[in-house]
Amino acid sequence: MYKNNYLAARLRSAAIGREVDVFVTGGADRTFGQFFANAEKYAALLTDLGVQDGDRVAVQVNKSVEALELYLGTVLAGAVFLPLNPDYRPAEIMYFLNDATPHVFVSDPSRVDKMHNAVQVAGVKHTLTLDAYGQGSLADGANQQSTGFVPVSRSSGDLAAILYTSGTTGHSKGAMLTHKALASNSAILVDYWGFTKDDVLIHALPIFHTHGLFVATNVVLMAGASMVFLPKFDVDGIIAAMPDATTMMGVPTFYIRLLEDPRLTSELTKRMRLLISGSAPLLAETHERWTDRTGHKILERYGMTETNMNTSNPYEGMRKPGTVGLPLPGVNVKIVDDNGMPLTEGQIGSIEVRGDNVFAGYWQMPEKTAEELRPDGWFVTGDLGVMDADGYISIVGRSKDLIISGGFNVYPKEVEAAIDDVAGVLESAVIGIPHSDFGEAVVAVVVAATGGISQDDITDETAGKLARFKRPKRVLIVDSLPRNTMGKIQKKALREEYADLFI
């Protein structure tokens, strides 16, 4: 039935005939059959609302099984899924809606009034609601539909999703992900990480992000596996799930906080076969502590919004702490100098990747696409890395000033703009500082104008403009910012000066 829809066919294939629960949620469990039947209802509803091939469906909702059913329903309807962080404020949503021009916007009922102006300005035709419990006008509409929706035909090169990312300058960029990019990468991961129908994944990641939406969910569906679907990261919830689970995907914060709990033991994790970490660097110390406590070695990997997963430490074989492993099958990775020439082992350079996993470009940004996606398919990641004699890659920095805090991307210019708008601020520089819990913490270094300003003033004034994960963990008031001879602020010097701030 799904054969004409490239991604949906691959997500459905392993689940045909399996009526075990794919989502174990403690109240709204779903068998594979129920999950796909509900997705068909969402697809039928979207079609009734006039959604056509390639139309965007923007979704800013809290985590729920229904939200994932909507994701698959959007794919079945031939549309493009556009997930947005629930923490984004109306001003931030305004940009995404204006840029992507979605036909449908789905919001949590508690936020729909606040988003009304953004929706009106962007000309969104339909606004529906969906709450964390799977209730709202979207669910009501889907419940009126029948199953058996015939998927809209979509080929490997058609768009399946747009995920917004950004550089340190300019507007956010919509990374266009094709059916092939998502399907091929998930299929590789199922095989490389050894996923089977017997696996039970602990899913405590958000689903507006590549990690939780495409890596975790797509891999489970393609393997015909199951997952314990938690609303968010919760130590008690994860510890309760571990005795019956076999795998977990998380960010470094997950492992650091679990290590603080005395209940974490080798006995608790004895059924677990694989623990994966990504989205931010994992300290070698955390690797060692986890192995000492549980007997398991965390598997670290490297991916991006634009490329899905690029490298991974092996499932079978040496896992090297401090590295992100080897290039995945079907993914080419090279480290080059400023002229694009390949470097040898031990030399630091720019990481470039090529493969079916790579995105199709940035939505409505051909010039930016041309800058970062070469005609021969190589994508310039902006990350700096080094390869050792065994081919293992380590990420040593970023050529841009991107901050990754708790697995989320934070772009300094956006935070600086919000701070600089505060009365009493002369200028600011936002940097990422190493943090044992978040990987990196957002820190604002601020020069006050005449009359001065307090840290609390800045925190209070920016709280309504920035999502929580973007807000500085610390605000430092200084007399001046370091500059080079051209007058450019030297963020490297600031990072070095405050490197021990959270130690």
DSSP, residue by residue, 299-313: EEEEEETTTEEEEE-
Which residues make Cβ contacts (< 8 Å) with residue 360, sequence separation at least 6?
A: 157, 159, 176, 177, 178, 181
∠ CA 276-279-281, nearest 5°, is: 85
Point out the least confidently predicted range of 212-216, 273-277, 305-309, 381-385. 381-385
Flag whether pLDDT at 400 surpasses 80: no
Q: For residue range 175-198, what is the model confidence (pLDDT) as tens digits?
A: 999 999 999 999 999 999 999 999
Q: How far apart are CA 501 and CA 321, in angstroms?
A: 24
Q: How far apart are CA 314 and CA 193, in angstroms?
A: 8
Q: For residue range 109-164, what is the model confidence (pLDDT) as tens digits?
A: 999 999 999 999 999 999 999 999 999 999 999 999 999 999 999 999 999 999 99
Flag whether pLDDT at 381 surpasses 70: yes
Kindly tell me the burial class for residue 170, based on how many C-beta atoms sit within 10 Å of its own C-beta (0-12, 13-18, 19 or more).
Answer: exposed
Q: For residue range 456-497, what is the model confidence (pLDDT) as tens digits?
A: 999 999 998 899 999 999 999 999 999 764 456 888 889 999
Flag whether pLDDT at 280 surpasses 80: no
Phi/psi at 431 (5° precision): -135, 165
Secondary structure of 76-99 in the HEC alphabet? Answer: HCCCEEEECCCCCCHHHHHHHHHH
Q: For tokens 């199953």, name the residue.
A: 147
Q: For residue range 252-272, what is the model confidence (pLDDT) as tens digits?
A: 889 989 999 999 999 999 999
Q: Are 327 and 311 in contact (CB under 8 A)?
A: yes
Q: How far apart are CA 99 and CA 289, in angstroms?
A: 45
Point out the least confidently predicted range of 124-138, 160-174, 200-214, 384-398. 160-174
The helix or strand, by DSSP H or E, that contains position 75, with its residue range, turns out to be helix 65-76
Q: How far apart are the first and last CA of the chain?
A: 56
Which SS3 state, helix, strand or coil, does residue 435 take? strand
Cβ-count burial 225-248 (b if 16+ within 10 Å, e if not):
bbbbbbeebeeebbbbbbeebbbb
Q: How far apart are CA 213 and CA 209, in angstroms?
A: 6
Hey, what amino acid is at 482?
P
pLDDT for res 484: 64
Q: How far apart are CA 372 and CA 452, in angstroms?
A: 42
- Rounded to whole angstroms, what are the CA distances from 443 to 119, 418, 474, 482, 484? 32, 14, 5, 16, 21
Flag whether pLDDT at 201 surpasses 60: yes
The arrangement of strands across the sheet holding 439-448 comes to: 425-435, 439-448, 474-478
Cβ-count burial 95-109 (b if 16+ within 10 Å, e if not):
ebbebbbbbbbbbbe
Q: Are 60 and 84 in contact (CB under 8 A)?
A: yes
The helix or strand, by DSSP H or E, that contains position 162, with its residue range, turns out to be strand 159-165
Computed over every residue of the chain, the mean pLDDT equals 91
Nearest to 164 by CA among 359, 433, 406, 332: 359
Nearest to 434 by CA among 331, 284, 332: 284
Q: How far apart are CA 404 and CA 420, in angstroms?
A: 22
Which SS3 state, helix, strand or coil, does residue 42 take? helix
Which tokens in the block code for residue 53?
């091939």
- pLDDT class for 108, splitting at 50, 70, 90? very high
Q: All domains of the chain, ordered by start, with CATH? A: 32-154 (3.40.50.980), 403-497 (3.30.300.30)
Q: For tokens 């949620």, name the residue.
A: 25
pLDDT for res 170: 54
pLDDT for res 253: 84
Nearest to 425 by CA among 488, 476, 486, 354: 476
Which tokens in the block code for residue 58?
């923007």
Q: Are 68 and 74 in contact (CB under 8 A)?
A: no
Cβ neighbours of 288 (radius 10 Å): 13
Flag whether pLDDT at 174 surpasses 50: yes
Q: Are 71 and 213 in contact (CB under 8 A)?
A: yes
Q: How many helices (H) and strands (E) does the chain have?
A: 16, 24
pLDDT for res 314: 97
Cβ neighbours of 11 (radius 10 Å): 25
